[in-house]
Amino acid sequence: MSDDAPYPSVDALLHRALEHVEEWEQSWGAFDRHPSLGVDPDRLDRVFGEYLERLEGNYPFHHPRYAGQMLKPPHPVAVAAYAAAQRINPNNHALDGGPPTSQMEQEAVAELAHMLGLPDETLGHLTGGGTVANLEALWVARELHPDASIAVSADAHYTHERMGRVLDADVTSLPTDARGRLRLDALEDALQHESIGTVVLTAGTTGLGSVDPIADALALCRDHGVRVHVDAAYGGFFRLMADDAAPTVEGFPARDFVAIEQADSVAIDPHKHGLQPYGCGCILFRDPAVGRFYKHDSPYTYFTSDDLHLGEISLECSRAGAAAGALWCTLRALPLAPTDGVGAIVGACLRAARAWADHIRKRDALTLLTPPETDIVAYVPTPDAPTLSAIDAASQSLFERAMDDPDEPVFTSLYRLPAEALTTLCPQFEADQDEAAVLRSVLMKPEHETCAADVVDQLATLARPPTDA
């Protein structure tokens, strides 16, 4: 455990990283930079000043009071490791484009596969993000079963349907329950009556962080000889909390995370819960033989070893070696362990969501919609009249007022839920419109655990200011 270890200084790490790379560059011999690369110092000063000022237009993603979308800065180790490799700018398309970072990519990808319980021979690589990782999975699904359709749930990430169109693959949509989880009865019906080649299951929906019944759905798919792709772009790292050594977390579907080990392919995003900057997704295939679909004959690719080129098993060509280096370095410093490193972080996030839910339950001014499965909490300001139109207006209003609070702004996000889901989750609600906005907080920073009481109190007070009557 690293309870008393200090938070690393990004300044110190960056300085060390850039100085080291600079010395390495100089070791190759001095040369004069071409005059065309120069920039007038006054202009640079102005431009850079304007740039830095414009960045202030961001929301404070780093702060515990930012509890809105899936956003947080990378860990200082990732920032510095990325900067060091980025300065050299290796391209992990080919082994010769960046030998060290290509090797690191293979090692880091193997660690992700191992965490998820996939076999040693798993074939995988990093991608620009979850969308491309899923695209590759759907593409392999179509190549394997060109005449069958790919089934995705109504609450699966919206890009599956879009990528189905890109691939000209038939995509079947399956209904979900009120929490956004694939309905097993609907899956069974589809498996019996439709020609389905691959089913996409989600381990942590982007909406409510819900987890499909992966264990049971996988068993059904196996019975029908149907492949399974698990979209664990968001939730993949929570697999650490399903380990026997991890502390138990109430309502966490550990069994479904363990079942991911049986999937045919898995997408996981290190740029979500893996502490990385954007540009780091990962696709994993159980059967390395699917690598044959990627075969290409690029005149640019040079071969100096018998090893498989990462560029030969990726749809993308150029990819940042820095992304692989940063992930490798981060996982060395913060290992994929159940009670240490990344496990300690995602465990705190899961507990943060339970703490938020508990505090919301204690406040009359707020209504919890459903107990969290992962680290996303959905709630509404308790309206005077329980109609969806009142809830819609109250959610919008609290969202804006919390963000505009001059002293202690709180950032949440709005999420639209259909009337049927809302009235199932909260039978006291009356559907006077088709859908309503609710508040959604993604608690992907471990600090959200400690600030739960304060932030929820503040939201509750804003939702219904105390009266002196």
For residues 316 and 92, the answer to whether their CB atoms sit within 8 Å is no
Q: At what angle do helices 321-333 and 99-115 cross, to 10 degrees?
A: 50
Using the minimum distance from each CB to ligand PLP, give the nearer residue, 13 or 169: 169
Site stretch for ligand PLP (CB under 6 A), options 2-10, 130-138, 143-151, 355-363:
130-138
Residues numbered 292 to 331 that lie near ligand PLP (CB under 6 A) are none
Site stretch for ligand PLP (CB under 6 A), options 124-132, 165-173, 342-350, 448-456:
124-132
**278: closest CA among 334, 233, 333?**
233
Q: Is 177 in the site for ligand PLP (CB under 6 A)?
A: no
Written as one letter, the residue type at 87 is R
Residue 276 CB contacts under 8 Å (≥ 6 apart), including other chains: 74, 78, 82, 270, 323, 326, 327, 330
For residues 127 and 283, the answer to whether their CB atoms sit within 8 Å is yes
Count of alpha carbons within 13 angstroms of residue 466, beta-carbon side:
5
Select from 213, 236, 277, 281 the one that contacts ligand PLP (CB under 6 A).
281
Residue 314's Cβ-count burial label (10 Å; 0-12, 13-18, 19+) is buried
Q: Is 129 in the site for ligand PLP (CB under 6 A)?
A: yes
Q: Is 210 in the site for ligand PLP (CB under 6 A)?
A: no
Residue 376: phi, psi to the nearest 5?
-115, 130
Q: Is 264 in the site for ligand PLP (CB under 6 A)?
A: no
Q: Kindly report the CA angle at 249 between 361 and 229, in degrees rounded to 5?
A: 110
Q: Residue 325 Cβ, how far from ligand PLP at the closest point, in Å?
A: 19
CA dist., res. 69 & res. 231, Å (int): 19
Residue 204 token pair: 């942590």
Q: Kindly report the CA angle at 6 between 3 and 10, in degrees rounded to 5?
A: 140
Give whole-number Cα distances, 165 to 114, 168, 317, 446, in Å.
Answer: 32, 5, 22, 38
CA dist., res. 384 & res. 309, Å (int): 62
For residues 180 and 215, the answer to whether their CB atoms sit within 8 Å is no
Q: Residue 132 Cβ, how far from ligand PLP at the closest point, in Å?
A: 7
Q: Residue 373 Cβ, how far from ligand PLP at the closest point, in Å?
A: 13
Q: Residue 182 Cβ, how far from ligand PLP at the closest point, in Å?
A: 13
CA dist., res. 290 & res. 197, Å (int): 15
Q: Residue 56 Cβ, how far from ligand PLP at the closest point, in Å?
A: 24
Using the minimum distance from each CB to ligand PLP, give the nearer residue, 122 or 206: 206
Select from 74, 90, 130, 347 the one that contacts ligand PLP (CB under 6 A).
130
Q: Is 392 in the site for ligand PLP (CB under 6 A)?
A: no
Q: Residue 235 Cβ, how far from ligand PLP at the closest point, in Å?
A: 7
Q: Residue 383 Cβ, how far from ligand PLP at the closest point, in Å?
A: 29
Q: Return the bridge partners of 413, or none.
A: 440
Q: Residue 417 Cβ, how far from ligand PLP at the closest point, in Å?
A: 17
Using the minimum distance from each CB to ligand PLP, give the nearer residue, 211 or 357: 211
The contact pattern for ligand PLP, residues 74-113, with x = CB under 6 A and - = no contact, is ----------------------------------------
Q: Are strands 149-153 and 171-174 parallel, antiparallel or unpaired?
A: parallel
Site size toward ligand PLP (CB under 6 A) is 13
CA dist., res. 227 & res. 219, Å (int): 11
For residues 253 and 93, the answer to whether their CB atoms sit within 8 Å is no
Select from 65, 75, 125, 157 the one that contacts ligand PLP (CB under 6 A).
157
Written as one letter, the residue type at 113 is A
The contact pattern for ligand PLP, residues 224-263, with x = CB under 6 A and - = no contact, is -------x-xx-----------------------------
Q: Is 269 in the site for ligand PLP (CB under 6 A)?
A: yes
CA dist., res. 276 & res. 19, Å (int): 22
CB-nearest residue to ligand PLP = 130
Place of tokens 């001014």: 365
Q: Is 206 in the site for ligand PLP (CB under 6 A)?
A: yes
Q: Give the DSSP letter of residue 391.
A: H
Specify the 3-state DSSP secondary structure of 442.
Answer: strand
Site stretch for ligand PLP (CB under 6 A), options 102-110, 128-136, 343-351, 392-400:
128-136
Select from 86, 106, 131, 382 the one that contacts ligand PLP (CB under 6 A).
131
Q: Residue 443 Cβ, how far from ligand PLP at the closest point, in Å?
A: 15
Using the minimum distance from each CB to ligand PLP, give the nearer residue, 148 or 163: 163
Using the minimum distance from each CB to ligand PLP, give the nearer residue, 75 or 157: 157
Q: Residue 234 Cβ, how far from ligand PLP at the closest point, in Å?
A: 3
Using the minimum distance from each CB to ligand PLP, give the nearer residue, 376 or 436: 376
Using the minimum distance from each CB to ligand PLP, give the nearer residue, 136 or 392: 136
Q: Which residues bind ligand PLP (CB under 6 A)?
A: 129-131, 134, 157, 159, 202, 206, 231, 233-234, 269, 281
